[in-house]
Amino acid sequence: MARLKAAVLISGRGSNLEALITACIDPAFPAEIGLVIANRPGAAGLARAEGAGIPTQTIDHRAYEGRAPFESALDGALRAAGAEIVLLAGFMRILTAGFVDPWRDRLLNIHPSLLPSFPGLDTHARALAAGVRFAGCTVHFVRADLDAGPIIVQAAVPVRADDTPETLAARVLIEEHIIYPLALRLIAEGRVQVREEAVEIDGAAAPAEAMVNPKP
């Protein structure tokens, strides 16, 4: 069966991109990455993609007057590459409805919180300040509102009393690298449907146990 053709948009480090590349290296994985685009020249993730033999492009937002022409350049590159699904992986530009709407339910994002809690930046510091006992990460379909859209997969991690934003971020990032390839696989297997802005996944099983923090 043909593999789903994915493109990944990055701005920086690219560790989620790396996790996706690693998943796609397995010929049995039902998706492949056909293009990686960075909006920042020299983004570290570009080298990771090139190392894996994946075509890359840099589309520098600063070269465009406003969001619309930048987004139109992105859209053109994605369509020229035959992308069927687009994954934002640490892509640090807000995308407007003009870009997002035509990719409806084919545009994914990963965010390092249990959405809809803590959208936006500095999520880990805000989670610690709020005293939540669980943090986590979310893969969701993108809507034009920031960090909003139907949730596909989440992972929860316990918050520890001595956590800093950095230690918490590191614990969450480990789970990000699990759930982004998982979400892509479920979609590529044709098991994910959006119904009234909630996602249904064919044959998905929830974990049996609850977690309590602190331990009873």
Q: Using the rule CB under 6 A, is 13 a contact of ligand GRF?
A: yes
Complete DSSP assignment for 1-59: -PPEEEEEEESS--HHHHHHHHHHHSTTSSEEEEEEEESSTT-HHHHHHHHTT--EEE-
Say how far apart CA 91 and CA 88 lie, in whole Å: 5
Contacts with ligand GRF, 160-179, as mask; x by CB under 6 A: -------------x--x---
Q: Rounded CA gap, 90 and 18, in Å? A: 12
Number of residues that bind ligand GRF (CB under 6 A): 14
Segments of the chain assigned E as strands: 4-10, 31-38, 56-58, 85-88, 107-111, 134-141, 151-158, 192-195, 198-201
Supply the minimum distance, in Å, between the C-beta of residue 190 and ligand GRF: 25
Asked if residue 113 binds ligand GRF (CB under 6 A), the reply is: no
Contact call for residues 119 and 110 (beta carbons, < 8 A): no
Q: Which of 67, 72, 73, 151 is nearest to 108 (CA)?
A: 151
- Rounded to a whole number of angstroms, the minimum distance from the CB of residue 212 to ligand GRF is 26
Q: Which active-site residues does the annotation give? A: 111
Alpha carbon distance 78, 159 (integer Å):
38
* 12 part of the interface to ligand GRF, by CB under 6 A: yes
User: From the list 59, 87, 89, 187, which residue makes contact with ligand GRF (rule: CB under 6 A)?
Assistant: 89
Q: Note whether 136 binds ligand GRF by CB under 6 A.
A: no
Per-residue x/- track, 180-209, ligand GRF (CB under 6 A):
------------------------------
Pairing of strands 56-58, 31-38: parallel
Q: Per CB under 6 A, which region of 69-77, 110-118, 128-136, 202-210 contacts ligand GRF?
A: 110-118
Among 30, 34, 90, 136, binds ligand GRF (CB under 6 A): 90
Q: Is 111 in the site for ligand GRF (CB under 6 A)?
A: yes
Q: Which two tokens stand for residue 8?
A: 């990944």
Cα separation, 118 vs 116, in Å, equals: 6
Of 4, 6, 8, 16, the one binding ligand GRF (CB under 6 A) is: 16
Q: Does 14 bind ligand GRF (CB under 6 A)?
A: yes
* Interface positions with ligand GRF (CB under 6 A): 10, 12-17, 89-90, 110-112, 173, 176
